[in-house]
């Protein structure tokens, strides 16, 4: 789908979807628990559905009741699927399941879309091999899916580079089922809030992991089981960034609902960053809301360290283009190996629209304020780039057209409808390919 965004503002109330990160952890931990779990407010699209389909393929029974998923888990008795597990665009599910499928008793093949088949997994696959798993990549020239993995995990010590928290979380989630206790040492760890999120979810399902050295060393007991239960998925703080930035840059009055301020999601920090830049944001922790009155001048921040919140880069870069001064984003090398190289993709698009960004390997400088011009850009199939460019479009002097926007459903279903309900003027045009796919489904 191609959309054209006109300059405008957001007014009213907007609910964000359930957290993608929370949903994937909840579904896979429910799979690994024996008995019935209830997951309230899951992300029922994109990556959330990829994790749900994988859990069913591995033996779980999942039914829907209102806004809940009822999961009958299988504990350690995973069923090896007859065909490959296709995880679409979900790097998180691919990472987590790379360790979890070692419980299936037989080899399991994981694959995904073109982006997943390009992403580097060598660090994780090497660590699994060190713990005794069999790992066979199908492309000898690239250590990425498709990959066939077999268990069991023998246990013992393992060390890995921590530039990708998903790899750390993957080992943590599966290690309780290893033959002996596992210890994980992390070198140069980044994205610590995501690891903390995993530990919090493991604790909800009955397993507490010793973490005596600030996310550099973990002791995981081989308890062989998780405890089923009822859990709630909070609003997605990663998704909050886009309406929040769009509102900060325009004369908006928007309230965002459904938030849990006690959640471990690291992207809550976007609120503090925008406040430091001068955005007028009011938090209501009791009601779980953020209210923003936009259009106020923003000031650049000398440095914004994204080591722990890489997913925030696309939205924050758009904000920085309209802030007075130079903002430098640091510790961003891991942002280059997400769904796309987001440093390159955002720099290329915004520079083409008249902004001033200078990218290095591990930092990005943004000089502002500069008017955002009009034009046509591609999302590169990356949901966060698509949503960031929508925020830019609301603040732009001319219309911005964005192609390949179906990808927003990965983390924010009904994204465009939510924005339109709050006053955004969006013209949509379905591509011929999209129309043919829709016709086939009817």
pLDDT tops 90 at residue 162: no
- Domain tally for the chain? 2
| Residue 432 pLDDT | 56
> Average pLDDT in the 234-251 region?
98
Q: Quick one: 143 and 238 in the same domain?
A: no
Q: Quick one: 358 and 434 in the same domain?
A: yes
pLDDT band of 441, cuts 50, 70, 90 = very low
Q: What is the mean pLDDT of the chain?
A: 95
411 inside domain: yes
Q: Quick one: 133 and 280 in the same domain?
A: no
Distance of CA 39 to the CA centre of its chain: 19
Whole-prediction pTM value? 0.92
Q: Quick one: 96 and 148 in the same domain?
A: yes
DSSP 165-185: HHHHHHHHHHGGGSSS-EEEE
> Average pLDDT in the 415-420 region?
98
Q: Quick one: 43 and 86 in the same domain?
A: yes
pLDDT tens digits along 35-45 = 999 999 999 98
Residue 71: domain span: 20-155+167-178
> Average pLDDT in the 147-154 region?
97
- 93/50 Cα distance (integer angstroms): 7
Q: Which of 280, 311, 341, 439 is catalytic?
A: 311
Instruction: Say whether 113 is catalytic.
Output: no
Q: Quick one: 10 and 31 in the same domain?
A: no
421 inside domain: yes
Q: Quick one: 38 and 59 in the same domain?
A: yes
Q: Quick one: 260 and 342 in the same domain?
A: yes
Q: Quick one: 97 and 245 in the same domain?
A: no
402 inside domain: yes
pLDDT tens digits along 353-409 = 999 999 999 999 999 999 999 999 999 999 999 999 999 999 999 999 999 999 999
Q: Quick one: 285 and 334 in the same domain?
A: yes
pLDDT tops 50 at residue 413: yes
pLDDT tops 50 at residue 438: no
- CATH number of the domain enclosing 129: 3.65.10.10
Whether 87 contacts 128, CB under 8 Å? no
pLDDT tops 50 at residue 228: yes
Q: Quick one: 297 and 384 in the same domain?
A: yes
395 inside domain: yes
| Residue 410 pLDDT | 92
Q: Quick one: 425 and 297 in the same domain?
A: yes
Last residue of a domain, one of 178, 213, 244: 178
Residue 144 CB contacts under 8 Å (≥ 6 apart), including other chains? 116, 117, 118, 119, 120, 121, 137
| Residue 435 pLDDT | 42
pLDDT tens digits along 182-221 = 999 999 888 999 999 999 999 999 999 988 778 999 999 9
């Amino acid at each position: 789908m191609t959309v054209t965004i006109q300059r405008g503002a957001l007014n009213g109330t907007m609910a964000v979807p359930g957290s993608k990160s929370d949903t994937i952890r909840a579904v896979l931990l429910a799979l690994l628990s024996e008995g019935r779990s209830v997951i309230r407010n899951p992300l029922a699209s994109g990556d959330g559905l990829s994790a749900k389909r994988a859990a069913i393929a591995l033996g779980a029974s999942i039914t829907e009741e209102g806004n809940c998923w009822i999961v009958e888990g299988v504990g350690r008795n995973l069923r090896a699927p007859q065909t490959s597990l296709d995880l679409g665009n979900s790097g998180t599910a691919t990472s987590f399941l790379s360790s979890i499928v070692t419980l299936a008793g037989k080899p399991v093949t994981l694959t995904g879309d073109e982006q997943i088949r390009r992403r580097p997994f060598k660090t994780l696959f090497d660590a699994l091999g060190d713990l005794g798993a069999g790992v066979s990549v199908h492309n000898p020239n690239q250590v990425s899916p498709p990959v066939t993995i077999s268990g069991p995990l023998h246990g013992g010590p393992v060390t890995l580079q921590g530039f990708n928290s998903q790899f750390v979380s993957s080992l943590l989630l599966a290690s309780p089922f290893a033959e002996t206790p596992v210890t994980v040492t992390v070198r140069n760890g980044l994205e610590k809030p995501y690891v903390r999120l995993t530990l919090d979810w493991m604790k909800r399902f009955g397993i507490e992991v010793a973490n005596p050295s600030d996310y550099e060393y973990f002791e995981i007991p081989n308890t062989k089981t998780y405890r089923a239960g009822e859990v709630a998925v909070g609003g997605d703080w990663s998704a909050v960034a886009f309406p929040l930035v769009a509102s900060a840059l325009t004369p908006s009055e928007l309230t965002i609902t459904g938030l849990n301020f006690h959640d471990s999601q690291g992207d809550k920090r976007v609120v503090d960053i925008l406040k430091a830049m001068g955005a007028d944001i009011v938090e209501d922790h009791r009601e779980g809301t953020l209210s923003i009155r936009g259009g106020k001048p923003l000031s650049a921040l000398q440095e914004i360290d994204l080591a722990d919140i890489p997913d925030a880069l696309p939205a924050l870069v758009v904000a920085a283009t309209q802030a007075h001064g130079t903002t430098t984003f640091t510790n961003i090398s891991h942002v280059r190996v997400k769904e796309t190289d987001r440093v390159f993709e955002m720099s290329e698009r915004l520079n083409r629209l008249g902004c001033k960004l200078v990218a290095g390997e591990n930092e990005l400088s943004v000089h502002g304020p500069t008017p955002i011009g009009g034009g046509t850009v591609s999302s590169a199939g990356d949901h966060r780039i698509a949503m960031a460019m929508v925020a830019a479009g609301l603040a732009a002097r001319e219309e911005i057209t964005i192609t390949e926007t179906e990808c927003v459903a990965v983390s924010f279903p009904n994204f465009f409808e939510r924005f339109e309900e709050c006053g955004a003027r969006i013209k949509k045009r379905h591509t011929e390919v999209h129309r043919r796919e829709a016709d086939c489904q009817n």
